[in-house]
């Protein structure tokens, strides 16, 4: 009998060129009242089992690993994504024929993932011995109390994502406890660090007072005997952040497959 059932699994969604308000609202359950839950479950083709009475059990993890109720941020997810893209100076390619639409050849700038694991293991972490009827979306679970185990799993997963992609690039980490299976939706901005373009300048540091630093132009303006009081230092190129799905996840299908395989292995080893 297997004694160590993994609680770690990853599903990587399609990388995207943009992110809609509708998708963000679903992830954050923003504006979802009881009627929305009912309409979602009415779509028999999707076989949804959203439970409104468990909506209050959903939570998210924000900066510094703080756990808060899902949808606490007053700024919607799609706007937060755009804010981070603006910080990184990302400009999508716009369609020449449709100036209000992103071009098909524009770089992908965001990717969503679902972190989950063994159904029974996660349910035990979340609910312990409390009985949950997942087959009935109308079941009353308003008395259910989340257990500490699921918070620890989420925190471990959040820390893993931060180590992989940087906390500032984890735009949303939403844990859903109102569906058939417990899982975390993670929306990220793929970012790489590259050296700044342009020539590398030099600086001249005063031998007696290191706080006095001159540019090459300023140093040349000194008298010859004064120049001897300075030591030349060649400045190294600074690094800047930029959005790059290909550089982070791999530029070829094979590279992406290898990256994803290693991602699963790392997650299983660190969290599972």
- 160, exposed or middle or buried, with CB in 10 Å at 0-12, 13-18, 19+? buried
Bridge partner residues of 242 (DSSP): 192
The 8 Å CB, 24+ separation contacts for 56-59 are 56/142, 57/126, 57/141, 57/144, 57/146, 57/177, 57/178, 58/29, 58/174, 58/175, 58/176, 58/177, 58/178, 59/146, 59/151, 59/154, 59/175, 59/177
Rounded mean pLDDT of 94-106?
85
Backbone angles phi, psi at 215, to 5 degrees: -80, 170
- Of the two residues 43 and 56, the one the predictor is more confident about is 56
- Of the two residues 196 and 64, the one the predictor is more confident about is 64
Q: Is the pLDDT of residue 93 over 90?
A: no
Pairing type for strands 183-188 and 170-176 reads antiparallel
Taking only the tens place, the pLDDT of each residue in 139-169 is 999 999 999 999 999 999 999 999 999 999 9
Q: Is the pLDDT of residue 113 over 50?
A: yes
What SS3 state is found at 216? helix
Rounded mean pLDDT of 176-189?
95
Q: Is the pLDDT of residue 26 over 60?
A: yes
pLDDT band at 107 (very low <50, low <70, confident <90, very high): confident
Write down the pLDDT at residue 97: 87
Write down the pLDDT at residue 3: 46
Question: Mean pLDDT in the chain?
Answer: 90
CA distance 70 to 67: 9
Write down the pLDDT at residue 197: 67
Query: Cβ neighbours of residue 110 under 8 Å, at least 6 residues apart?
Result: 15, 16, 18, 19, 81, 171, 187, 188, 189, 190
Hunting for tokens 């606490």 — which residue is that? 72
> Which token pair is 46?
């999707």
Backbone angles phi, psi at 13, to 5 degrees: -80, 175
Rounded mean pLDDT of 23-27?
94
Name all domains of the chain by residue range, CATH numbers in brackets. 9-194+242-270 (3.30.930.30), 199-236 (no CATH)
pLDDT band at 2 (very low <50, low <70, confident <90, very high): very low
Distances (CA, A) of 150 to 14, 55, 116, 122: 27, 15, 11, 7
**Range in 23-27, 131-135, 142-146, 154-158 with the lowest mean pLDDT:** 131-135
Q: Is the pLDDT of residue 32 over 90?
A: yes
Write down the pLDDT at residue 7: 59
The distance in angstroms from the start CA to the end CA of the chain is 18
Q: Is the pLDDT of residue 134 over 80?
A: yes
Write down the pLDDT at residue 161: 96
pLDDT band at 198 (very low <50, low <70, confident <90, very high): low
Q: Is the pLDDT of residue 224 over 70?
A: yes
CA distance 186 to 167: 11
């Amino acid at each position: 009998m297997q004694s160590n059932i993994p609680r770690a699994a990853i599903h990587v969604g399609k990388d995207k060129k943009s992110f809609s308000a509708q998708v963000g609202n679903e992830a954050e359950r923003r504006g979802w009242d009881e009627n929305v839950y009912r309409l979602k479950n009415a779509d028999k083709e999707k076989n949804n089992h959203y439970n409104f009475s468990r909506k209050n059990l959903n939570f998210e993890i924000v900066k510094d690993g703080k756990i808060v109720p899902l949808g606490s941020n007053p700024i919607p997810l799609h706007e937060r994504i755009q804010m981070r893209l603006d910080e990184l100076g990302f400009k999508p390619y716009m369609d020449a024929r449709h100036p209000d639409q992103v071009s098909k050849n524009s770089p992908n700038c965001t990717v969503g993932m679902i972190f989950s694991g063994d159904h029974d293991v996660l349910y035990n972490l979340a609910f312990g011995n409390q009985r949950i009827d997942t087959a009935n979306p109308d079941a009353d679970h308003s008395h259910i109390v989340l257990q500490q185990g699921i918070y620890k799993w989420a925190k471990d997963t959040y820390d893993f994502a931060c180590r992989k992609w940087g906390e500032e690039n984890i735009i949303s980490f939403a844990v859903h406890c109102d569906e058939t299976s417990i899982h975390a939706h993670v929306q990220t901005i793929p970012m790489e660090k590259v050296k700044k373009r342009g020539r590398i300048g030099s600086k001249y540091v005063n031998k007696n007072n290191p706080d006095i630093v001159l540019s090459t132009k300023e140093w040349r303006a000194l008298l010859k005997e004064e120049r001897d009081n300075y030591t030349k230092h060649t400045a190294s190129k600074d690094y800047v952040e930029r959005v790059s799905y290909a550089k982070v996840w791999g530029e070829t299908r094979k590279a992406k497959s290898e990256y994803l395989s290693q991602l699963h292995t790392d997650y299983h080893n660190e969290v599972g």
